[in-house]
Amino acid sequence: MPDILIRKTARAGHITLDRPEALNALTWEMCRAIDTALEDWRSDPDIALVLIDAAGNRAFCAGGDIAEMYEAGQRGDFDYGAQFWADEYRLNLKLSRYDKPIVSFLHGFTMGGGVGIGCHGSHRIVCESSRIAMPECGIGLIPDVGGSLLLARAPGRLGLYLGLTGARMSPGDAIQCGFADHFLPEDSWPALKTTLSDTGDIAALQPETPPPSDLAKNQPQIDTLFEASTVELILDALDAAGTDLAEKTAAQIRRNSPLSMACALTLITRLTESSTLAEALNWEYRFTSRAARYGDFLEGIRAAIIEKGSTPNWRHPIGGISGDDLARMLAPVPNPPIAEGDIP
């Protein structure tokens, strides 16, 4: 099908996202195609492992294709986005539980929906150009596709920093924060893919030492600045600190949706090391399924995508989020995407 290449190459099932002009943004049809391929290959004795990569030089996948969701929301159709997210989240869980190795090659930008496709498999490879981020609070969403759990499991308060700011991780940062496993220079990737395909042997993957992580270096400062329990108190700490990092971080936070950040902080804080991906996805769905109707999603897309660079008019000021606001966005939903029986 257009936008994605799915084929068998010797011992590998090979999926290539193929929308380079759109930074390989993920459509609903692409999600369905990946899901079908994974089901077909699960019982195929010829397939020993799965490779996921992307066309073009700029991005593995810069997020979900949100144009259709925006147009549907403008028409008052809020079911379209909710159904898309439900299918996407079930695919994220399937990738995490797949019983054959999944090797993802995360070059360039990997953000939002790209994290959901590329960062839940068993072997996640980054290179020099890799920049991974969860920037959803900037468009009126929250870190989703299981990103909330990855953020919750990052060392110290780094996950809160990344979730509230949308800051981009370098390859060293991504490994430090649990979004990737291995570093390999990008020029070595073609030969590795060939070897993995020919042999079906994951032992062919021999990673190199990753570049250093700036986030690891800055973690003591970030842990202190993000120890408060609300976004407004975190901003108070940032403003009082007066460091370059604190000033840059405060500016990033002030651009984002206050409602999204308050809910993201609640969710990332709630999730723990004992939480499962299935639980996190269902929590995320509580917010995303309501984001167009009750949140800032449509306004965020208008400002960031439709009228690029315009200032969004968020529903709430920072510090203006009530307990009722949080409860409305994070209350249980009648039909969560992951059935209770599928949550261990």
Residues annotated as catalytic (active site), given as ranges: 64, 113, 136, 144
Distance CA 24, CA 197 (A): 23
Distance CA 114, CA 91 (A): 12
Q: How many residues does the chain have?
A: 344
Q: In 3D, which of 68, 55, 69 has the Cα closest to residue 24?
A: 55
* Inter-residue contact 35 to 4 (CB < 8 Å): no
- Provide the phi-psi class of 309: left if phi over 0, else alpha when psi is between -120 and 50, else beta: left
Which residue matches tokens 């965020």? Answer: 300
Which residue matches tokens 């009082």? Answer: 240
Question: Edge-to-edge strand order for the sheet containing 12-17?
Answer: 4-9, 12-17, 49-54, 102-106, 123-126, 182-183
User: In sequence order, what DSSP letters do the residues of 121-162 get, joined into one string?
Assistant: SSEEEE-TT-EEE--GGGGT--S-TTHHHHHHHSSTTHHHHH
Pair of tokens at residue 255: 């651009």
For 55, 60, 134, the CA distances from 25, given in Å and listed in that order, are: 11, 9, 14
3-state secondary structure of 181: coil
